[in-house]
Each structure stands twice: as structure tokens, then as C-alpha cells.
Amino acid sequence: MNNLNEPVRVVNVGLEGFAKELALQGTQVIQVDWRPPAQGDPGLIDILSRLYTPEVEAANRETIKRLTESRPLWIDVETAIKAIPGMEPRHILHSGPPIDFYDMCDPQQRAVEAACVFEGWVSDRDGLTAKIDSGEIKLAPNYEFGSAGAMCGVISPSMPVIVTENVTHGNRSWSTFNEGKGNVIWMGAYDKGTIERLRWMRDVFAPTIKKALALTPEGIDIFKLVAEGIQMGDEVHARSAACTLLLLRRLTPLLLAGDADRPTVAKIFDFIGNNNHSFLSLTLTACKAAADAAHGVPHSTVVTAMSRNGVDFALRVGGAGSRWFIANTMPMDEAIYYSGYGPEDAAGDIGDSAIVETAGLGGMIIGSAPSISSFVGGSTAHARASMAAMQSICAGTNPAFATSATDFTPAPTGIDLRRVVRLGLTPIIDTGVLHKASGVGQIGTGIARAPMEVFVRALKENCWD
């Protein structure tokens, strides 16, 4: 029993308002962040109670094992139509779940238009819509083909793609090379210079890189570079500066040993080195190949893909077979905007690049990248707290991606559907922000939240029994 002459010390559970009022009065108070499981929904609680079984735990361990044992190697460069099985000559692949052209957000429409101009199929929007309406040009999501694209995520048949093979499990993934900043189709903006750059990438850059890559017998170990880069301040989604330079160091002797003339090699050095997102495309293919290999373990509740198209958010769960669960994407209200812009100017969350968080990188290890700690509060302590929150919704860890900035805390890995719904906490995704119209392109950067609705839908709609 407390002596009334002594100071009162309080532990408050639940509603924060009580703790705040006590603190204002000078009372020592500890706030315990507690909330009812699954927001107190009896139906969800019943489903969850049936999913905490040895069978599910074993399935989740196997899923995590497949993720963490994956070894993705960059082995080749090839045109998309030759590299991607099932791609057709008039296909345009895009990020996120299936969507009609007229329902796409403006940036993704512009990216599709630019790709078709690049291919020489159309010269303007009217020509594009006529060919889409007639079925001459077909749209399909990247995830149906094992590929991945950042932001608008558009891949057309003659674009060169990175070919990555997961040598542990024998599967492959593909992504286009990153174009950089400015008027670029991955950001939903283009002009004459954009098309000229894409043609240079196809006709000069890609063939030169292909020849250079052929000089290394095994290929380039992407996760090995990631493990180095995150020790140097990357989290390999919003920030890939270190990994880009590590990649350039790896490519330099190969390029110099080839038969390309020096001006071409110099331009390639400049193109890669002056774009800190150059490495992002390799990260996407590596994470996609690892996550695809982890998918398909019966009874697994680990998320194996997250993808957005600016309108809808798609989720795949390891034990749910080929089914995808879809809900509205989240507004970009937690990002940091360039001067003159705000959430009201933004398109919805967009891109296949949330595969990075799915594999335990990006927002899951945001504490490894102090330069972007402003995304989650501004301090290293905030970033590490965000990582701890992400660990609470993951089924495992990956020691290979433990960094000195976080005292070598293993990366939270394997987003667990059960934990997300039980705790009411969704994954954070490091991302850029696109203007919703006018071909402006990028207007900010920061974090997005995966919508809780899609996790609840996956829990309710799949036959987990």
C-alpha cells in the first residue's frame, strides 16, 4: 500500500489521455501501449485463434528460411520480350494489380503513353487510347510475369531488363534499368529527351553492360552488395547511394576490359554514378526472386508480395495459393513534400517496390539509414523504434542484414498476416510521391502505410482451415 505522503507513480494501460493529464500535473507515469486484439472484433479473434498452431509456425519458419537462404545473382541483360516468359509483342506491363487504362492514375497513364511512343506504336494519347480500346495494345501487371517495376513500373517489349536468378531455388525475376530523375517514365513524366534516353539505354547502354557482365563467370551477387551498402547508410529502397557506388566499383573493370570506346564507357559511368537510384532495380529483382521462392508453403501466413498502382493495393500471402487480395491504396499523408506541394497534390501510393519491405529491407531496416530518419520522426531513436514496431509484426529476422547503426539488430523479416491484424499495425513502406496530374513527376518522398483493410480481407476471405 502506498504511503499518501510519498509521490504517486502511475502505470497507465490503454487510453493515452489519462497519462497525458497526469504528466501535465507532474505525476510520474508510464504509458503501456495496449489495445484489444484485432480491434476487439470477435470474428477476427476467432480466425486468429485457429491460426496459432504448430503447423502454421512450421510453415512460417520454412517461408522465412526460403527468403533468407535465397542468393539472387545478376546474370544477364536482355530485351523484355526475350527475357520474360509469356510477354507478348504488344504487352505493356505495369506496377500494381490489374487496372483498366482509364482507371489508372495520371502518372501511370503517362508512363504507358511514353512506353508506347518509345516503341513507335503511337505518337499521342489519342492514338494510344484507340489501340487500347481495340485490344491492339494490352496492359498487364508485372506480378503476373515475375517482373517488378518501381513507381509506375512500366515495361515494354524492347526495353532492356536486368535478368536476376535466385541460384538457391532456380527462379528468375526482371526489372528495367532505372532512368534517374526529372522527366522519366517511372515517375510518370516524359518529353522528347525522355524517349531519346530510353533509346540510348536500349541501343548503347544495355548492350555494353551485357558484354561487361559476360566477363564475370557467376554474375553479380546482389544481396552481398546490399549487405555492404546497408553498413554505409542505405536501406536500399529510398536510399541506395552506397550500393550504387559499390555496383559501379564492381562494373568498372568489366567495362574497361570490354571493347566499348572510352566516350561510351565514360557516359555509362556518368549515367550510373549520378543516379543514386541506379541500384534500386537490382534490389527489386533480388527481393522479387527471393519472395517468389518463399511463396507457396501450405498454411504460411507470411506475406510474399505487396504491390500498388496508385489506386489499389495488392497483397499475396505465402499459404494462400495464387490468390491476391486487393483494397484501396493509402493516401500519401505521412510523406515529406517539396516546397509548394502537399498531400492534396499527390497520387496514391504506387509501385511494385514494396517487395523490398516484403523481403525485410527498406522500411523494415530504416534505422540503418540515418539520413532518412526524418521519414519517421527525425531522430535515430525514432527510426529504431520504427524498426522495433516492424519486428513485432514479423515472423522472423535476417542476420545477414544487421547493421552497426542498429547495434547489429537482425532485420525484421517475414511480415506475418496474423500479427498485423492482431496488433492493428501495418508495414511502413519507404517510397517517393508522384503528383496526381499534369506530368509533374515526383513531388516528395517519405513513407506510406499498407492499408489494414487488405490484411483483414486476406484473413477473412482465404480458407485457412
The stretch 405-424 carries a mean pLDDT of 96
In the predicted structure, residue 333 carries a pLDDT above the cut 60? yes
Least confident piece of the model among 251-265, 267-281, 364-378: 364-378
Distance CA 379, CA 122 (A): 49
Cα–Cα distance, 462 to 465 (Å, whole number): 9
| pLDDT of residue 343 exceeding 70 | yes
- How large is the C-alpha radius of gyration of the chain? 23
pTM assigned to the model: 0.93
The pLDDT assigned to 275 comes to 97
Average pLDDT, the chain: 94
Give me the mean pLDDT over the 432-440 stretch: 91
On whether both 200 and 249 belong to a single domain, the answer is yes
Same domain as 268, residue 128 = yes
62/75 same-domain check: no
Where does the pLDDT of residue 268 fall: very low under 50, low under 70, confident under 90, or very high at 90 and above? Answer: very high
What is the pLDDT, as a whole number, of residue 465?
Answer: 54
Query: For residue 4, what pLDDT is reported?
Result: 53
Residues 31-59 pLDDT 10s? 666 678 888 889 999 999 999 999 999 99
Same domain, 115 and 150: yes
Q: pLDDT at position 14, please?
A: 65
Mean pLDDT along residues 93-113: 98
Q: Is 48 in contact with 58 (CB distance < 8 Å)?
A: no
For residues 109 and 17, state if they share a domain.
no
Per-residue confidence (pLDDT) for residue 36, from 0 to 100? 81
User: Is 165 within the bounds of a domain?
Assistant: yes
- The confidence score (pLDDT) of residue 24 equals 78
Q: Evaluate whether residue 450 is within a structural domain.
A: yes
One domain, residues 213 and 299: no
Q: Are residues 324 and 236 in the same domain?
A: no
What is the bridge-based pairing of β-strands 171-176 and 91-94?
unpaired
Domain span at 13? 1-34
CATH number where 146 lies: 3.90.1710.10
Burial class for 126, CB neighbours closer than 10 Å (0-12, 13-18, 19+):
exposed
Number of other residues whose CB lies within 10 A of the CB of residue 300: 28
The pLDDT-based confidence of 1 (bands split at 50, 70, 90) is very low
Whether residue 351 contacts residue 147, with contact meaning beta carbons closer than 8 Å, is answered with no
Q: Tell whether 4 and 92 lie within a shared domain.
A: no
**Domain's final residue, options 252, 283, 314:** 283
Alpha carbon distance 225, 300 (integer Å): 29
CB 334 within 8 A of CB 446: yes
Residue 361 has pLDDT above 70, yes or no: yes
Asked if residue 375 is part of any domain, the answer here is: yes
Q: Do both 123 and 272 map to the same domain?
A: yes
Q: Are residues 381 and 251 in the same domain?
A: no
Q: What percent of the chain has pLDDT over 90?
A: 86
pLDDT per position as a tens digit, 18-31: 777 777 777 787 76
Task: Domain count for the chain, please give it.
Answer: 3
Where is the domain boundary, 283, 317, 343?
283
Beta partners for residue 176, in sequence order: 161
pLDDT (0 to 100) of residue 8: 77
Domain boundary among 283, 313, 333: 283
Query: Residue 2: what are its φ and ψ, rounded to 5°?
Result: -80, 135
Nearest-5° angle of CA 311, CA 312, CA 314? 155
184 and 57 within one domain:
no
Residue 408 predicted with pLDDT over 50? yes
* CA-wise closest residue to 198 among 161, 250, 151: 161
Cα dihedral sign, 68-74-77-82? negative
* Least confident window among 9-23, 37-51, 78-92: 9-23
CATH, residue 59: 3.90.1700.10
What's the confidence (pLDDT) of residue 132? 98
pLDDT tens digits, one per residue of 286-303:
999 999 999 999 999 999
Residue 441, in any domain of the structure? yes
Burial tier of 90 (Cβ tally within 10 Å: 0-12, 13-18, 19+): middle
What's the first-to-final CA gap in the chain, in angstroms? 50
- Half-sphere exposure at residue 250, Cβ-oriented, CA atoms within 13 angstroms: 18
Per-residue three-class SS string for the chain:
CCCCCCCCEEEEECCHHHHHHHHHCCCEEEEECCCCHHHHCHHHHHHHHCCCCHHHHHHHHHHHHHHHHCCEEEEEEEEHHHHCCCCCCCEEEECCCCCCHHHCCHHHHHHHHHHHHHHCCCCCHHHHHHHHHHCCCEEEEHHHCCECCCCCCCECCCCEEEEEEECCCCEEEEEECCCCCCCCHHHCCCCHHHHHHHHHHHHHHHHHHHHHHCCCCCCEEHHHHHHHHHHHCCCCCCCCHHHHHHHHHHHHHHHHHCCCCHHHHHHHHHHHHCCCCCCHHHHHHHHHHHHHHHCCCCCCCEEEEEEEECCEEEEEECCCCCCCEEEECCCCCCEEECCCCCHHHECCCEECCCHHHHCCCHHHHHHHCHHHHHHHCCCHHHHHHHHHHHHCCEEEEEHHHCCHHHCCCCEEEEEEHHHHHHHCCCCEEEEEEEECCCCCCEEEEEEEECCHHHHHHHHHHCCCC
Residue 386: per-residue pLDDT: 94
d(CA 24, CA 146): 55
Per-residue pLDDT band at 11 (split at 50, 70, 90):
confident
How far is Cα 328 from Cα 103, in angstroms, rounded to an integer? 13
Percentage of the chain with pLDDT > 70? 97
- Cα 390 to chain centroid distance, Å, stands at 15
Same domain assignment for residues 205 and 261: yes
